[in-house]
Structure 1
Amino acid sequence: MENNYLLADRYRIKNLLGEGGMANVYLAHDEILDRDVAVKVLRLDLRNDQETQRRFQREAKATSELNHPNIVSVLDVGEEDGMQYIVMEYVKGEDLKKYIVEHFPIPYQRVVDMMEQVLSAVAHAHAHGIIHRDLKPQNIMVDEKGNVKITDFGIAVVLSDNSITQTNSLLGSVHYLSPEQARGHMATKQSDIYSLGIILYEMLTGSVPFEGESAVSIAIKHFQNEMPSVRDYDPRVPQALENVILKATAKDPSQRYAAVTDMAADLKTSLSPKRAGEPKWAPDNSKDLEETKVLPAIAAANGLTPETAEAATDNPNNTDEKDTDEKSPVRKTKKPRKKRPWWFWASIAAGTIVIILVAVFFLTQKKDVTVPSLAGMTQAQAESTLKDADLQVGTIEKAYSEKVEKNRVIRTIPAQKLVIKQGSSVSLVISRGKKGYKLGNYVGNSYTTVAETLKKAGVKVKRAYANSSTVPSGEIMRQSPAAGKTVIPGDDTVTLTVSRGKRQITLRDLSNYSKKNVQDYADENGLNVTFREANSSTVSAGLVMSQDPAAGTLVTADTAIVVTLSAGAKQVKIINFVKEVKIPYQAPASSSSSISSSSSSDQSGSDSESSSTSSASSGPVPNNIIIYIEDRSHSINTVYRQFTITKDTPVELPFTVESGQSARYRIVRDGSTIDEQTVNP
């Protein structure tokens, strides 16, 4: 698969972690749960190999049944476009093989601690009837905290010089292979215990106990050679600890630990001072081991004929007898072949009978059946279909699915189209429907952060706005559904009400509004209003005369505004009074008699009369008089009265003023102001 490929609409492939004999393992990111996972995908060239597919399905089924902190968890199993895959937890670290190389020598207590974790995991698997069959440091992961996790349950490994198979049955890596597996016998729980003893040996010495030029020579050493002493390599190793290895790797399975838990209990006290001076454990050799056999499959895997395989068994070091004889001072003489005894032929006859019985056994074996396609069926429909196909219903598992309707079959284990034996069990994976997403309490959080998290989980998000004087802009004020509720990604929508902050308002022109209208407007927009009053002769009482701030000003909620209401026209007292003014006559400058008369008029009244009498004969020239007044009814710029005089003339000027106010007048004679005064009542 290419990097960035999205598997099952969920797992984004990041890079290749490793390639195996059956499958490739990729690092991927679970985009729903936001975590890294390991995805094991069946190799493209093996997808049509039914046996390989069965092994792959067996691993998925076996591991999914195990739930232990020291076993790599299977998170999901599926098939996409004919591509079978297993999703497992991603262990960030290295395998035990590499750990031994980088950290050797490992402190004894650390070795015991790590092995106790491995033994605990294997004991859990054995309790579920699962035998690993391929325990080796390469299948044990060590995370960054030093914890160990076992992986690769039931999966085959690539054939190489260090791996052997028998009739397509996995036996495991030859360096950790039990003697009974090397002979072609079925693997048992004691076979796993043997492998665990080899692993413990390697952790203490940094190497495996048996090496050879080929897989066959190494396998032969497992059931022929004694286990090398750990204390020969490191005398400081307590004898009790070496005894754990010796008992776990006994050639006879019956002399090994009866169970992994027994081995764990023995290992736990192996460093105790109470066990100091413990004698070296030795197996009971009263019973001879079974005669060494090398199966044709083993020989063929290593390019040997049965004859050369037998020779390799007799001579595990592959030395040439002829060469040995030539080097010997005394040349050996070949012994003549003895005549076959009667029991030899009887054994051949018995072998023939066995072959016939085996043939009959295989001929009467159950027929192959193809797993039908059950995807989308109800459980009842699927069970009925399996029954019609002569298959049994296995376990019923529940899993979330983005595509398959609730209570419908997602997939089967083994997968559809795989060929299995008649009467075999087929497990059903039933959809729980789409996985729900539990909502948190998002009130008071940033909308941007919350929306990003929800969208990443596939939840639809709707944003609404509201103003608030207490919640800052951009923060969530309300949510629907409420915290703690569960929504379905892709189907349900979460509405988040986001604060705009304080509301901004453009002030309306409140002129001629009543006090109630102004208060309603202020309450509606969150404004604080203060009322004042003033007299007005133009605005009716009770209506707005003015406002501050002015109309059109942009403000926010809680802004204070001042509104002035009209108190009506001011009630005033009107005063009428009269001012008497005497206007003096002045003769024009061209008349001497007038001048003389005018000059003497100020001295005495009798003189003025005589002057007037004297000028009467010639006739006086009249003065043009203009009077201006200013009071409640008149303006100083408007002529109040205009007339002429030929003598001093008294005039009464009427005024109308408001209480406390004054009036004014101006008298102009022949274009010149002769009198201007302010007068009071």
Structure 2
Amino acid sequence: MDTTLSDPLVGHTLDGRYRVESRIARGGMASVYLALDVRLDRMVAIKVMHRSLAEDPQFVRRFIGEAKSVASLSHPNIVHVFDQGTDGDHVYLSMEYFPGKTLRAVLDERGPLAPREALEIMIPVLAALGSAHLAGLIHRDVKPENVLMTEDGRVKVVDFGLVRAIEGGNQTRSGVMIGTVGYMAPEQVTTGQADVRADVYAAGIMLFELLTGRQPFGGESPVSVAYRHVHESVPAPSSFSYDIAPALDALVAAATAKDPADRPRDANAMLVAAVEVHRTLPAATTGRHSAPPRPAQVEQAFHTGSHTMIQPAIQIPPTTPPRSRRGFRVNWGIVALALVMVGGIAFSGWYFTTPRTAIVPDLVQRNVEAARQLAESNGFTIKIAEGRYDAKVPKDMVLETSPVKGVEAERGSVITIIASRGPEMVTVPKVEGKTEADARVAISDAGLNVSRVRRTPSDTIARGLVIKTDPVVGKKVEKGSNVILAVSMGLLLPDVVNMPRDQAEALMRENGFDPSCVNEVVDDTQQGTVIAQEPIAGAEVDKGARVCLTVSRGPDTGWKWPWEQDPSVAAPDFVPVPDVRFKDVNEAKRELEAAGFRVQVHKLFSRGRPGGDGAGKRVRGQNPLGQVPAGSTINLWY
């Protein structure tokens, strides 16, 4: 089962900045995750302390202080610390993501290493420790688990300052030893105290392990292993493999001396000695002949003694200390001379451990600046070529590189980046006053599409010409976007049929038409009522168009009420009709109905203008007016 699936931090964003992608490792004090820094668009490693430590306020304060100190270190063999913070119950460090294996994994896969290869790993480790020692920092937990390696041979040390932060917490007290028992100096075991020479001791143990494939002391428990560190001398690596030179035995013996005063004074002094030993070794070593397989007890200690632990200092019964082996004593006069040549020595260490080529990293889909940082951290330089428009990739994100990812190239060579310029933006052209056909051509030439044509009444723009666009002219839009055209349908003729002539003519003039053409005809309709119009209602015409109204002049015999034509029909009571013109149509309807009339409401414009239920519209025509029989039907136009 993939344990990362059940890890609640996977998928969580710490501090709103670090989106946790997966868990890389889990140790005794913390878990390490791969995360995306969404602010800088780069992958980072996030070390999250276990909750038991995060709940200790003294630890948190000490942790923050140590993180600031470690962040000040700048060395190519130290994993850089970018940031630290807390998010609820989570206390974390944000660090440089360095893909590769731990030195422990390399040892598990390969077993003991050839002497030159072992030193070529130790030299950058000692350089990293030496840089920290000059800055006043002690690692306190040097071991293969805290050394990272890539396939191309780069080496980096991690977890500076973490043990010191724990030492200052509530969970520890004076006389408590903290670290990994297989690498603890005798003084760490007995007093819990450590200085830079404890790091030297642990480096000596690690060198022994690289040469032999095992730790020097095994035991059934951490206490038994610690006891042997206090009372036994580390055996010579050559006792386990015949091809280990005496100079390597002497280097291990000096670094692991019981008395701190007998060790190199710091990692820089051990670095000087290691580079000198490396210079004397043969160019290549063929074949390894190791001692017989380790006993089961040692095998067990090899695995169980690798975790950082917190344990009370061990009270070891005093015994007569064995005489220190003097096979290797540092001549400090020589060291002083060597320090004058430290630039050359540092260059030698770099030359032995730094490969001449590197693999081009995957920079695509990264922000240009984040890609630059990643490329430069891998030894390349960056050239920004002319960008390219891309509708799907945001501006300043890398589209492609030359050479492409995965190619092996010389360090220092140039990676050319082509970045996205984002979607291409174009300007909506001015097409007002153009015909629809001409407007379509102009919009297409600008790289846009006409998605819809909306026909709109206008008393200023002739029929068939463009009134406006949506988006508006001059607006910057993404190339390929859609544009809506509003095309003039001119003016719409209102519907004045059944309206009194005087009202119909006034309404036509008010809307910009010429109603000078009037035809009177005999009709059963009440005299003076419009019975037809030409053009018909709703026709699209230009402003000033001539309209002919056909008006009734009544029947030949004269128009009569029904009771005037038939004596048997009783004459009704005549009542005045309220004049509701220019009132809100709904209020007018209610007023007439309250007066006992039936009401029919008509829209002047059948399309092109809002109608709805008449809300907010004014009465523009009314028929009849004056005196009419009670209960008559009144026509209203809005």
TM-score range normalised by the length of the shorter chain: 0.3 to 0.5
Provide TM-score, normalisation by structure 1: 0.43
Greater relative contact order (Cα 8 A, min sep 6): structure 1 or 2?
2
- Structure 2 length-normalised TM: 0.45
